[in-house]
């Protein structure tokens, strides 16, 4: 009797999911690590950290939870970009065989490399708050060592909004984000009513109260299903071109040297302005400023 009831409930549940699913959907997943369940310091976030190898697994499982939920909602093509640190965090052998993965840097569209106008939705996993936000674990924008502000068309950006604007150039909306409470709140304030899976609650830059991994995977799955079940609710986040980028550096010298370029204006001692035709040009400029050095090899 119990079994029959359970089977009926599962069947009804499955039918409900099917009704909202859109067959043939194409989904882009950009995965960072600071917002992954349990991450609080560099102990989890890079090869030098004593917990890094284990947290690569948790990051991979959060991405897998999003993949599984997207598939349940009708996604047939999924591209994942490994978008943290060295770009080589996700454990490729633990991922499903029918997705593809973008790895390592530099790449012109950075955390959004591979996005184009054939995608239906973008999902952010493991994201964090911006450098100007006091409410978030490891809050920074692109490089915590380099930038105090990244502004696009006068708007102070977080990585989620910057990446949403890149997707917006291709007409693709962001529908869901996972990360700490600060990241989710900031993204929702900038991008509108996207779904948010909170993995932990910040106490400070290096401290949080966190979910357990399985609970995080479950929550991510639920929010991805909810988002893809109401795809028509979301609009692309568009920046009108020409796109004006302002970068404020922690140090003086990057602003001085970049202002030698005829395409760059010095706004003040630590800030430069670059105007690009679209977000792709702006993204390439940011990648250049964060990667170029005379000793760069090969
Ligand atoms: Zn990161």
Residue 226 CA to ligand 1 center (angstroms) comes to 25
CA of 293 to the centre of ligand 1 (A): 21
Ligand 1 (ion): residues with CB under 5 Å are 32-34, 84
C-alpha of residue 68 to centroid of ligand 1, in Å: 23
- How confident is the model over 49-108, as pLDDT tens digits? 999 999 999 999 999 999 999 999 999 999 999 999 999 999 999 999 999 999 999 999
Whether residue 208 contacts residue 137, with contact meaning beta carbons closer than 8 Å, is answered with yes
Q: Ligand 1 center to residue 144 CA distance, Å?
A: 10
User: Residue 65 corresponds to which tokens in the numbers above?
Assistant: 């939870």
Calculate how far, in angstroms, residue 143's C-alpha sits from the geometric centre of ligand 1.
9
Cα 246 from Cα 150, distance rounded (Å)? 6
Other Cβ atoms within 10 Å of 42 Cβ, number: 14
**pLDDT tens digits, one per residue of 113-126:** 999 999 999 999 99
Helix axis angle for 159-169 and 181-191, nearest 10°, is 40
Report the pLDDT averaged over residues 276-295.
96
CA of 181 to the centre of ligand 1 (A): 16
**126-142: per-residue pLDDT in tens?**
999 988 888 999 988 88
pLDDT score of 1:
44
- 3-state secondary structure at position 214: helix
Helix, strand and coil percent figures for the chain, each rounded to 5: 35, 25, 40
Distance of alpha carbon 225 from alpha carbon 22, whole angstroms: 11
In the reported structure, the alpha carbon of residue 237 is separated from the centroid of ligand 1 by a whole-number distance in angstroms of 22
pLDDT at res. 18: 47
Residue 20 has pLDDT above 70, yes or no: no
Nearby residues of 130 by Cβ (< 8 Å), 6 or more positions away: 136, 139, 140, 141, 156, 157, 158, 159, 186
């Amino acid at each position: 009797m119990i079994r029959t009831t359970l089977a009926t409930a599962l069947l009804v549940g499955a039918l409900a999911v099917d009704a909202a699913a859109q067959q043939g959907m194409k989904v882009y997943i950009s995965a960072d690590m600071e917002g992954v369940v349990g991450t609080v310091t560099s102990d989890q976030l890079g090869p030098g950290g004593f917990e890094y190898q284990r947290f690569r697994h948790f990051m991979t499982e959060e991405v897998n939870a999003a993949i599984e939920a997207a598939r349940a909602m009708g996604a047939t093509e999924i591209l994942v970009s490994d978008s943290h640190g060295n770009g080589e965090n996700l454990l490729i052998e633990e991922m499903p065989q029918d997705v593809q993965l973008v790895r390592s840097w530099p790449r012109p569209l950075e955390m959004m490399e591979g996005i184009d106008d054939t995608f239906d939705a973008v999902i952010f996993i493991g994201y964090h708050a911006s450098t100007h936000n006091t409410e978030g674990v490891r809050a920074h924008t692109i490089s915590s060592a380099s930038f105090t502000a990244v502004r696009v068309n006068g708007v102070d950006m977080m990585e989620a909004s910057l990446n949403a604007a890149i997707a917006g150039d291709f007409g693709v909306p962001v529908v869901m984000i996972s990360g700490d409470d600060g990241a989710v709140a900031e993204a929702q304030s900038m991008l509108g009513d996207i779904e948010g899976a909170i993995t932990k609650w910040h106490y400070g830059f290096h401290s949080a109260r966190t979910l357990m991994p399985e609970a995080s995977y479950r929550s991510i799955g639920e929010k991805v299903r909810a988002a893809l079940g109401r795809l028509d609710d979301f609009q692309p986040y568009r920046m009108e071109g020409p796109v004006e980028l302002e970068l404020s550096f922690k140090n003086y010298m990057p602003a001085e040297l970049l202002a030698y370029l005829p395409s760059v204006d010095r706004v003040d001692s630590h800030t430069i302005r670059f105007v690009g035709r679209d977000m792709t040009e702006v993204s390439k400029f940011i990648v250049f400023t964060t990667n170029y050095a005379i000793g760069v090899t090969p």
